[in-house]
Structure 1
């Protein structure tokens, strides 16, 4: 992945921006078809029969669920514009009596293994799979050194303070090494791809690179192995055949392109995907079928 200084590569798409919070406002208007891919949620199974001294239950299993698994349990309806806050509490997810606890969705982030799976279809739908542009939001903390938030507890008093100080110094050094100098400078001062209300850095990449779920750890964008990562907010090939968009405020990713591409994405069981239209509402109010479960 290489930082691009020519931000005019996105001018064609900027000219096709639709209304805010609509599918076309996220991925651009004028494409033949659109698919909405729901971001899966973290889930863990706890043994409710055992409680430690801190009131915590041991974790028996950790995985991720599709939204439909939650909808089935809470009696909600799945449909193309379903919203997570209609399925679970907007702040904490949902807990079930059998020990399963489902967390929150991750907005603006499409799991990199799913992105890698998606590249199989994307590569076949363009004449330039080796020549893509990825737009990454400049607000990601990893680009400025604030992306990690791990708490280390090594005792109280001076010993604990020293342990945390050493850990922070190590993380600072590791982060300085993992962010390319030109990326750090561009994140702070530009030039940026000026998507409405979203300043982005453009990078050159390929479907082959993105097929590897570990690509972000080697891209010079501050992603640390084992910690939360970054996914592109915009992605398109130079032949402009399609666009993949993960708006930073929404917990779904939009694939816009030819009918044939959208059809294979909808048919791929690795994704929880629905067909949508370019003027569909992606906000919480877009789900007019399920009532909110919590504020």
Structure 2
């Protein structure tokens, strides 16, 4: 079960390992790991169902690669409004990994740590993160402070990553994947920046290899300095 943590110090190892040029992956997930992967959030088709970025690229005549940007895959010069998009469905969601993708990710992560518990960070700016869903004591506790973002901290078994979210109605649970999480042994670290439509994973080579081979995850090997900025796709912007 997910438990609130009132002292942010267990998470303070991350900030000194963040940095780099604007858009670099290592501004979101910490340096110091052997390998890195980017998990592109799936897009929804107009007739239902999910599509990977690789599938979208094939359908729009673009090239899929680790630094691709959704707007360049769908032929739009506008990374925000997607003006002129060739994709008829919904774009990938930003700031959260869909539940089915998160569950697939957790299954792999669990095989690459010896720790039984993990730490989870939730951005404080979500409108639902208030007295309706969190205790007053937790809301008043010191925040974990990173450049541009402040977080609430939780701990619990790895599987409790699926417990974050809120209930607009008693029968409706809207899941929110953690914005940052890692196991006690720091064998890996996962980051989903609020404004990103992809999730970043840092860990050992074997973990990254396993993610690349996991059905249901649109995983791509990247480097810590790979640019994920809107203009970082140096291949499809020429199409």
Greater than 6 Å deviation, 4+ residue runs = 93-96
Which position in structure 2 is the counterpart of 1:192? 143
Report how many residues are paired: 231
Cα distance change on mapping 1:204 and 1:292 into 2, 3 Å: farther
TM-score, structure 1 normalization: 0.72
Is this contact kept in 2: 1:140–1:230, CA < 8 A? Answer: no
- Distance, in Å, in 2 between the alignment partners of 1:94 and 1:79 is 22
TM-score, structure 2 normalization: 0.88
The root-mean-square deviation of aligned C-alpha atoms, in Å, is 2.2
- State whether structure 2 residue 55 is matched by structure 1 residue 69: yes
Cα distance change on mapping 1:223 and 1:17 into 2, 3 Å: farther
Map of 1:149-188 to 2, 5 A cutoff? 176=132, 179-182=133-136, 186=139
Map of 1:217-236 to 2, 5 A cutoff? 221-224=165-168, 225-226=171-172, 228-236=174-182
- Distance, in Å, in 1 between the alignment partners of 2:230 and 2:111 is 34
Which position in structure 2 is the counterpart of 1:276? 222
Which position in structure 2 is the counterpart of 1:245? 191
Is this contact kept in 2: 1:132–1:235, CA < 8 A? Answer: yes
Which position in structure 2 is the counterpart of 1:33? 35
Unaligned runs of 5+ residues in structure 1 are 46-61, 146-175
CA distances 1:234-255 after superposition (whole Å, capped 9, x unpaired): 0001111100110111111011
Q: Secondary structure at the match of 1:199?
A: strand
TM-fit CA distance, 1:16:
0.8
Which position in structure 1 is the counterpart of 2:71? 85
Give 2:109's match in structure 1, choosing from 99, 122, 142: 122
Is this contact kept in 1: 2:145–2:151, CA < 8 A? Answer: yes
Is this contact kept in 1: 2:36–2:202, CA < 8 A? Answer: yes
Is this contact kept in 1: 2:179–2:191, CA < 8 A? Answer: yes
TM-fit CA distance, 1:190:
4.1
Which position in structure 2 is the counterpart of 1:205? 156
- Distance, in Å, in 1 between the alignment partners of 2:198 and 2:236 is 17
Higher relative helix content: 1
Which position in structure 1 is the counterpart of 2:117? 131
Which position in structure 2 is the counterpart of 1:165? none
Which position in structure 1 is the counterpart of 2:205? 259
CA distances 1:90-144 after superposition (whole Å, capped 9, x unpaired): 4258776xxx83112211111122111111111111111x310001111112214
Is this contact kept in 2: 1:93–1:102, CA < 8 A? Answer: no
Is this contact kept in 2: 1:108–1:247, CA < 8 A? Answer: yes
TM-fit CA distance, 1:70:
1.7
- Distance, in Å, in 2 between the alignment partners of 1:121 and 1:63 is 23
Cα distance change on mapping 1:93 and 1:264 into 2, 3 Å: farther
Unaligned runs of 5+ residues in structure 2 are none
